[in-house]
Amino acid sequence: MKSLDDLKKIRDAAQRKVTMRGKNEGTRILVGMATCGISAGARPVMNKLVEDIAEKDIPNVTVTPVGCIGECAIEPIVEVLEGEKRTTYCRVDVDVAERIINEHIIGGKVVQDNLIGKYRL
Amino acid sequence: MIERAHVLICSGSMCVSRGAKSLRSEFEEHLTRLGIRDEIKLVNTGCVGLCEQGPFVIIYPEGVFYALVKNKDIKTICEEHLYKGRIVEKLVFDEAMTDEKEIKAFDEIKFYSKQTRVALRNCGLINPDDIEEYIARDGYRGLGKALLEMTPLEVIEEMQASGLRGRGGGGFPTGLKWKFAYQNESDQKFVICNADEGDPGAFMDRALLEGDPHAVLEGLMIAGYAIGADKGYIYVRIEYPTAIEKLKIAISQAKELGLLGKNIFGSGFDFDIEIRLGAGAFVCGEETALIASIEGGRGMSRNKPPFPAAKGLWGKPTIINNVETLANVSAILYIGAKEFAKIGTEKSKGTKVFSLGGNIKNAGLVEVPMGTTLREVIYEIGGGIPQNKQLKAVQTGGPSGGAIPESLLDMPIEYETLVEAGSMMGSGGMVVIDEDNCMVDICRFYLEFTVDESCGKCTPCREGTKKMYEMLEIISSGEGTLEDIDRLEKLAKMVKSSSLCGLGQAAPNPILSMLEHFREEFEAHVVDKRCPGGVCKPLIHLEITKDCIGCTKCATNCPVDCISGSIKQLHEIDTSACIKCGICKNICPVDAIISV
Ligand SMILES: Cc1cc2nc3c(=O)[nH]c(=O)nc-3n(C[C@H](O)[C@H](O)[C@H](O)COP(=O)(O)O)c2cc1C
Ligand code: SF4
Ligand code: SF4
Ligand code: FES
Ligand code: FES
């Protein structure tokens, strides 16, 4: 340890290790992971979301599996919670997951194609 | 693979003794079986504070708080929560669930929301075996700031501005103590961390060392820099094997990163830390006895002055600070004296950690801002007294402290107010005493401890504690007189004023404070031959009231068969044969057995 900069480097690299613990006030992405969700392919979707967030180093976004959302027919379902705002996507596959990250989380624009309204009339 | 969830497993001593040891391997097994081992990070942390409800598992990002977790629950947690995202409600800590069955996050639970965590800032949140997690939470920034941007004198001034006072019992201003050692010129100086923690029932320091050892190491290094010492010792009792292990790991990791050793941060400051084990004698927590013990001599106190800051270890200027004090030091350097001084009251700054125990629901470790009232600690954080019993007193300061009666519960916790109430802050033991306790008996408990622990060097303490103990025995047996109580008080005052060291000087405190607040209870023993708490065996008689439903439970369980009565009939105790074991009283389903 030769300087404060050295310490800061370790700190910045290590922060990812602990930021998840504590209050999470950022964006939360929920993935429906009940039996139906898993069989519809929710797990690779979740993994993709987690990987992209890490790779692109997006701060304050967590991915959490949640139980049955009650729409088994249009799984996998992914919900994005930003404060009070809730956006629900369905029939999400790995490609759509990538779009959610790029267009919605980073770009701030909802991915219209997979909004739940389109499927549930 | 990046982990999407962190599973924190409390691995503090208390949880381990309650079965937390194999939780981790259970998690490994089930997560691997489910094919999600890579997605989840497992972290063994230090004590999260609510020991009585442990073992604990906390899962982030949701912050779900599982209590009383057993090995067999891990399968469910893995399959439901981690695999499918369904929170296992039946395992969620009671107080983390709202009436609407909503799950509250960790820091929204009343037990935590009333606390302010400075010394315990990382306890239960990081892996103590990983220096990077400490650094990620801004660890060692304070040390860096001190070494590179401040002179030793500026560090001392910062400490004085913070208002920090010693958390080991005495409450001496930390900055002032450092200043004395700073001013005493010498070719060699030392700093010592006092981790002896001798108070029966206290475990704040153990929890800190186990849960966040780097916070203590950092504090010790800052102290070393401030007074001009390049060597530090940590004196820890051998009964704390986990704490010792964590310290060893922490020291070697700090060395590896160059945070200990030569030329730290390129500042030219060298520092080395050595662990010294104590055999666990109470008197060795006293600073001069502690020094004697490190030097290899018998742990006996000596007269002060000279104070250690002038002539300490091997005759060199030495600073001794408590574990919790040092954990505060590292926080102060980082957050700044100004921020720190905003916490607490005019004369008592910052927070204090207490080990809350006795007749209390949420027994465990709590850290509150100075100025919090005892009532808040006991009822809001501690969750009150089990079975809605009446609170009689709160004991603070362990064998050197006293009891504060219920009428003073709204008093703010400060060094001075506690002394005014006849007790003291001490190192942080806080024992809640309910109506079913006897104050004479509690005095006897503490005196038994001090009789054992007196080092024997001076007569008032060696003989006085023994004599006081005998007098308490006489009073509790019902054979005492009012004169005995007066004589006890006189002797207590004498021992207090004439003993050589803090052990003997404080040993009479439990007696003096109980006599001040609960004299009538002592008098009841000698005048009415009655023990109001129903504890002192020679004075209690068990009786069955009309509430008896004739279940026969008491008769079946009485070891000497002295209870008679037929089924569905009022039972009766033959008091001449009764050995007063209390088994019947505890077993009666309708509380029909009372002690009179
Ligand atoms: C009998 C006796 C036992 C003590 N035990 C401890 C102890 O276990 N831990 C501790 O930190 N201080 C203990 N002290 C107080 C120390 O002598 C000393 O005041 C303290 O470690 C100074 O550190 P501080 O200023 O940071 O509180 C004890 C004092 C006496 C008289
Ligand atoms: S007061 Fe007690 S412990 Fe202290 S020196 Fe005297 S005998 Fe020893
Ligand atoms: S246990 Fe209580 S209720 Fe049952 S027989 Fe004994 S006194 Fe009566
Ligand atoms: S040791 Fe686990 S809560 Fe204290
Ligand atoms: S022996 Fe009689 S009450 Fe226990």
What local confidence, expressed as pLDDT, does residue B98 receive? Answer: 77
Confidence of residue A71 (pLDDT cuts 50, 70, 90): low
Segment B508-567, tens digit of pLDDT: 999 999 999 999 999 999 999 999 988 898 888 889 999 999 999 999 999 999 999 999
Supply B66's token pair.
Answer: 């599982």
**The tokens 């404070």 sit on which residue?**
B513
Segment B6-20, tens digit of pLDDT: 999 999 999 999 999
Helix spans in B381-538 (H): 415-420, 439-453, 459-476, 482-498, 502-506, 509-523
Q: Name the phi and psi angles at B103, rounded to 5.
A: -90, 125
What local confidence, expressed as pLDDT, does residue A120 receive? Answer: 62
User: Which residue in B82, B136, B264 is closest to A1 by CB distance?
Assistant: B264
What local confidence, expressed as pLDDT, does residue B104 receive? Answer: 76
- Partners of A23 on chain B (C-beta within 8 Å) are 63, 105, 107
> How confident is the model over B16-35, as a mean pLDDT?
94
Residue B1 has pLDDT above 70, yes or no: no
Ligand index nearest the alpha carbon of residue B553: 3
Residue A1 has pLDDT above 60, yes or no: yes
Q: How far is B62 from chain A (nearest CA, A)?
A: 8
Cβ pair B2:A51 closer than 8 A? yes
Supply B576's token pair.
Answer: 């001449």
> How confident is the model over A68-96, as a mean pLDDT?
84
Confidence of residue B169 (pLDDT cuts 50, 70, 90): confident
Confidence of residue B127 (pLDDT cuts 50, 70, 90): very high
> How confident is the model over B338-356, as a mean pLDDT?
96
Q: Is B4 within 8 Å of chain A by CB?
A: yes
Alpha-carbon torsion (B48, B52, B54, B58), positive or negative? negative
> How confident is the model over B315-344, as a mean pLDDT?
97
> How confident is the model over B81-89, as a mean pLDDT?
89
In chain B, positions 21-60, which contact chain A (CB-CB < 8 Å)? Answer: 39, 60
Confidence of residue B99 (pLDDT cuts 50, 70, 90): confident
CATH of domain A24-118: 3.40.30.10
Confidence of residue A37 (pLDDT cuts 50, 70, 90): confident
Distance (Å) of CA A6 to CA A10, B217, B575 = 7, 19, 76
Supply B414's token pair.
Answer: 């400060």
Round to whole Å and give the CA distance between B81 and B97.
16
Residue B444 has pLDDT above 90, yes or no: yes
Round to whole Å and give the CA distance between B349 and B344.
5
> B544: which strand partners?
B593
What local confidence, expressed as pLDDT, does residue B47 receive? Answer: 94
What local confidence, expressed as pLDDT, does residue A69 receive? Answer: 64
Q: Are strands B391-396 and B429-434 parallel, antiparallel or unpaired?
A: antiparallel
Cβ pair B61:A18 closer than 8 A? no
Ligand 3 atom 8, closest CA = B548
- Name the residue of B167, B193, B283, B286 whose CB sits within 8 Å of the most ligand 1 atoms, as the mutation to test its pocket: B286
Round to whole Å and give the CA distance between B424 and B509.
9
Round to whole Å and give the CA distance between B142 and B259.
12
What local confidence, expressed as pLDDT, does residue A24 receive? Answer: 66
Segment A93-117, tens digit of pLDDT: 999 999 999 999 999 999 998 888 7
Confidence of residue A58 (pLDDT cuts 50, 70, 90): confident
**Least confident residue range of A20-29, B129-138, B317-326, B450-459:** A20-29
What local confidence, expressed as pLDDT, does residue A18 receive? Answer: 80
**The tokens 């800590």 sit on which residue?**
B93
CA–centroid distance, A102 to ligand 5, in Å, is: 76
For all residues of chain A together, what is the average pLDDT?
85
**Peptide bond connecting A76 to the previous residue in cis, omega within 30 degrees of 0:** yes
What local confidence, expressed as pLDDT, does residue A117 receive? Answer: 77
What local confidence, expressed as pLDDT, does residue B223 receive? Answer: 98
For all residues of chain B together, what is the average pLDDT?
94
Q: Is B456 in the pocket of ligand 2 (CB under 6 A)?
A: yes
What local confidence, expressed as pLDDT, does residue A70 receive? Answer: 66
Segment B245-270, tens digit of pLDDT: 999 999 999 999 999 999 999 999 99
pLDDT above 70 covers a percentage of chain A that reads: 91
B539 or B351, which is more confident: B351
CA–centroid distance, B363 to ligand 5, in Å, is: 30
Q: Is B589 within 8 Å of chain A by CB?
A: no
CB-based burial label for B28 (10 Å; 0-12, 13-18, 19+): middle
For chain B, which domains are there? Answer: 5-113 (3.40.30.10), 131-342 (3.40.50.11540), 351-434 (3.10.20.600), 439-527 (1.20.1440.230), 541-595 (3.30.70.20)
Segment B196-248, tens digit of pLDDT: 999 888 999 999 999 999 999 999 999 999 999 999 999 999 999 999 999 99
pTM score of the predicted model: 0.89
Round to whole Å and give the CA distance between B502 and B422.
16
Give yes or no for a contact between A21 and B65, defined as CB atoms under 8 angstroms apart.
no
- Partners of A7 on chain B (C-beta within 8 Å) are 135, 140-141, 144, 265
Confidence of residue B486 (pLDDT cuts 50, 70, 90): very high
Q: Is A39 within 8 Å of chain B by CB?
A: no
What local confidence, expressed as pLDDT, does residue B470 receive? Answer: 97
What local confidence, expressed as pLDDT, does residue B26 receive? Answer: 96
What local confidence, expressed as pLDDT, does residue A109 receive? Answer: 92
Confidence of residue A72 (pLDDT cuts 50, 70, 90): low
What does the DSSP assignment read for A55-115? HTT-TTEEEEEE---S-GGG-S-EEEEETTEEEEE-S--HHHHHHIIIIIIIT----GGGB
**Least confident residue range of A95-104, B85-94, B351-360, B489-498:** B85-94
Residue B337 has pLDDT above 60, yes or no: yes
Domain residue extents for chain A = 24-118
CA end-to-end distance (rounded Å), chain B: 68
Q: Is B594 in the pocket of ligand 5 (CB under 6 A)?
A: no
Residue A121 has pLDDT above 60, yes or no: no
Residue A83 has pLDDT above 90, yes or no: no
